[in-house]
Structure 1
């Protein structure tokens, strides 16, 4: 049943005429009659009878109206949900790498969501970039700046990185963990190429690099939010890379002025600032 059609039944009952229902709902009188005929045909029953120029609901119509009144009450309650929640209301899909979602966003998500009960966050984690043109996400965090696209883009943060090597051996004696060739332009890979070491492990998963470095038999570069425990490991030597890595935020254009989006963007920036301070 079409909800707009069902509202016509209630309007005719309340007004007593097609003309009255037409004025109340601001639709053409012939449309009122046509839609009622369609409903009667679909239900296989008669809804109204003409009595002294007034449309009176039949017994079957009263049964239908009882359900319509319940539906109207639920529709009204749905409309008030946003009013009952303090602050912005909305559901936002955030795309990022697994490492950023797990190490930067997730530890700070609980406090943010408790402070904004009207918000829902959906985390989309993948090493592949989502396609904004297909509306696969509302916001995306990327470690490389897109060349172009129909979205708003801004620098979200600058991330420091550290080169780790065993403290008791030289870098040349340890296994090198490197990123794939398609990431050759990032500061981490530029730093590693200068070491002139042969890569023994190639991956874009920072957790794998972290595990190998923690074995004290490998060298590699990790972002600050992924290596807090390694920085306190006395069996490792850490060198801060001279060049930081830019983190970019992509936002769908139609959400730039949305209240829920703005408060979420502020939270994302705070997440990276906090991660940097802790690192």
Structure 2
């Protein structure tokens, strides 16, 4: 059995479509279909059932996933052995929530690529947890540790959030001296039924029940605040990116959250991914510290 056929089989199993697998493999969907047909002929079994939702594994296909993933790990280990330890090359795909992906990972990725010229990094910003079982990414950053799944979990870094608004908004509206004053103001936050992790339910910390402007993207919320549309809970590390943004009620509303790094349990033996994970952890911690230090301690209530 050809390993390359198994590689294509895994891509279809994870993407649940020929076109999705083709995009991941940089291959035409019709070619993917022909290769799957060739593999099915070789194993004398139908591996996928075509449904309105896409391609789903048959019982025979599900039995092939384990051996195919074992072959994938063996191929990766062989590639690592030939590359040696001098530098890290190849593709790394990182899944992350919106705030981390927009305000932290670009700088961290730059440093990692400068240290390893042969490295290519893809940042996947999704309003949900990246599915590592389907290999949507090599590793994922989340705002809470998972309860289930064959994953290795490492604490990445703590970070802080505060209520903030643009100076233009604050100049045009009544002063805010206590949390009760917020009832006179417009709030910006997440769409309630699109909050994919309980740690993102920031609005409840303000005592205000509903947001006037809401989005499932923290970047959209930040742009709304930049325009002077209202107040919202923001990451301290994102504040330096929005000149004019001011922290409000630091002594009353101050949140701390954590980022977690997730990897598929089968990747524990990969020296390459372990080295990349270490570089990512060090880089992200340093970037959170650098950006948060730019926010005046007097304004945040921290020392």
TM-score using structure 1 length:
0.61
2:234 is the counterpart of 1:222? yes
Structure 2 CA distance for aligned equivalents of residues 124 and 154 of structure 1: 19
Indicate the residue corresponding to 1:261 in structure 2: 273
Q: 1:126 to 1:185 in 2, by over 3 A?
A: closer
3-state SS of the aligned residue for 2:198? coil
Q: 1:139 to 1:84 in 2, by over 3 A?
A: closer
Report what 1:179 is aligned to. 190
In structure 2, list runs of 5 or more residues that go unmatched: 3-78, 177-181, 293-303
Any idea what the Cα deviations from partners look like across 1:71-119, whole Å, max 9, x if unmatched? xxxxxxxx89954882234432211134322321112322311212343
2:70 alignment partner in structure 1: none
Instruction: Indicate the larger mover: 126-135 or 235-244.
Output: 235-244
2:155 is matched with which residue?
155
Q: How many correspondences in the alignment?
A: 199
2:28 matched to which residue of 1?
A: none
1: CA distance between counterparts of 2:248 and 2:270? 42
TM-score w.r.t. length of structure 2: 0.57
Q: Is the deviation greater in 113-122 or in 242-251?
A: 113-122
Change in 2 beyond 3 A, CA 1:91/1:159:
same
Deviation at 1:276, TM superposition (A): 2.3
Measured after TM superposition, the shift of residue 219 of structure 1 is: 0.7
Q: Which residue of 2 aligns with 1:134?
A: 134
Deviation of the 1:143 alpha carbon:
1.5
Structure 1 residues 258 and 90, CA gap change in structure 2 (3 angstroms): farther
Q: Which has the larger radius of gyration?
A: 1
The runs of at least 4 aligned residues of structure 1 exceeding 6 Å deviation read none
SS in 2 for 1:133: coil
**Mapped partners of 1:155, 1:205: distance in 2:** 23
**Distance (whole Å) between structure 1 residues aligned to residue 233 and residue 151 of structure 2:** 31
Q: Which runs of 5+ in 1 are unaligned?
A: 3-78
Q: What is the RMSD of the two structures over their aligned residues, measured on CA atoms?
A: 3.0
| CA distance in structure 2 between the aligned counterparts of 1:121 and 1:91, rounded to whole angstroms | 6
Q: Which residue of 1 aligns with 2:202?
A: 188
**2:91 — aligned with what?**
91
Closer/same/farther in 2, CA of residues 80 and 158 from structure 1, 3 Å limit: closer
Alpha-carbon separation, structure 2, partners of 1:144 and 1:178? 19
Query: Could you say which residue in structure 2 is the equivalent of 1:125?
Result: 125
The answer to whether the aligner puts 1:106 opposite 2:119 as a matched pair is no
